[in-house]
Structure 1
Amino acid sequence: MATPNDRAVLNMILNPLLPNEPFDPNAEEIDAYANLPNITECRELEKSGITLAENGTLDKAIEKLTNAISACPSNPSPYNNRAQAYRLAGNIEAALNDLNTAIDLSSDSGKAAAQAYTQRALLYLLKEEREKSKADFQKAADLGNSFAKMQLVAMNPYAAMCNKMLSDVMGKLQRGEQ
């Protein structure tokens, strides 16, 4: 079984154009929001909202996530999740507003900011605003979001071509071809 360090090394070999951070097994994300007022109630409401969204009950999900925001308006997480529900419901502008709020509340740091930047980048792609999308993917990648890193590579035609060539070479090596 591969260790996280083994996977990091393989990732560097197979995806040489992606930025790679050194693996730190002792690194933990500090829960910057654990001491906010009503955070426990907020998180329970948020979990319920996520479950409703996963079941396709988007109006009720949005309502539950709105209640989570009301319980703890300083927590960026329910804004991220309500943005997802809004996107699924087809309300792109409401989703963008929530993502902007999540980014502001997160002070451009942590997982909440990385998720919000990634979601907003995807919405910008949907709106065919490629430069804004790329800028947000870069911010998310800088915050450690691996999906955003892959998207940046995919948006770079030269990097995509190099990745394809390297993948072909690695495939031939694995098959014993010259």
Structure 2
Amino acid sequence: MATANDRAVLQTIFNPSTPFGDIPGLDEEEEEDAQEEGDGFAPELLEQARDLELQGVSAAESGDVSAALERFGEAIRLLPQRASAYNNRAQALRLRGDVAGALRDLDTAIALSRGRGRAACQSFVQRGLIHRLQAREEEARQDFERAARLGSSFARRQLVLLNPYSALCNQMLCQMLGQLRNPGSE
């Protein structure tokens, strides 16, 4: 049986664009223990909140950010302890240019989700992007690392972009392995 470090080395060799140690599925045990999104909520309220969020997403996609914010706000009023609506509202707030409001909602979504699950993953990515736009690279890196551990391939790519040395080392490793596999070709 391979150790976590062995899996990390193999992951780096076969997927050189991922940061060292980023092993897909490593946190699956954690995810299985995490509370399901719908646990603790009345099924009929959960269904209504999800429907309101879908309406909000549709409104945002069609360019009606005000209607999207209304729907997400209704979903939050219906189930204020559910992280997903805060994450979705943060996207709409960002579209409107309210970065401070978006950050507040993302912080709330991360707190409510206890940093686990899909809503947390999406919130970490969004918050990382905002930090990156504000030239707060260290905060962006931390959020992308957490999102990558939750399974975000986008966050993994952002981490590589934030660390050009990692990408260069991975590229050199691939070249060396290629030369070892095919010693006569160059």
The bucket for the TM-score relative to the shorter chain is 0.7 to 0.9
C-alpha distance in structure 2 between counterparts of 1:22 and 1:129, whole Å: 28
Under a length normalisation based on structure 2, what TM-score does the superposition of the two structures give?
0.76
Structure 1 residues 46 and 17: CA distance shift in structure 2, 3 A: closer
C-alpha distance in structure 1 between counterparts of 2:65 and 2:103, whole Å: 17
**Equivalent position to 1:20, from 23, 28, 36:** 23
CA RMSD of aligned residues (A): 2.9
Under a length normalisation based on structure 1, what TM-score does the superposition of the two structures give?
0.79
Structure 1 residues 30 and 12: CA distance shift in structure 2, 3 A: farther
Higher relative contact order (CA 8 A, sep 6+): 2
Residue-by-residue CA offset, 1:90-133 (whole Å, 9 max, x unaligned): 11011001001001100111111111111101011111111111
Deviation, structure 1 residue 33:
2.2
Which of structure 1's runs of 4+ aligned residues deviate more than 6 A?
27-30, 167-173
Contact 2:16/2:167 (8 A) holds in 1: no
Structure 1 residues 64 and 14: CA distance shift in structure 2, 3 A: same
How many pairs does the alignment contain? 167
Q: Which runs of 5+ in 1 are unaligned?
A: 1-8
Residue identity (%):
39
Structure 1 residues 138 and 22: CA distance shift in structure 2, 3 A: closer
- Which aligned pairs between 1:17-166 and structure 2 lie closer than 5 A? 17-18=18-19, 19-21=22-24, 31-37=36-42, 38-165=45-172
Q: Which runs of 5+ in 2 are unaligned?
A: 1-9
C-alpha distance in structure 2 between counterparts of 1:30 and 1:45, whole Å: 22
Structure 1 residues 40 and 152: CA distance shift in structure 2, 3 A: same
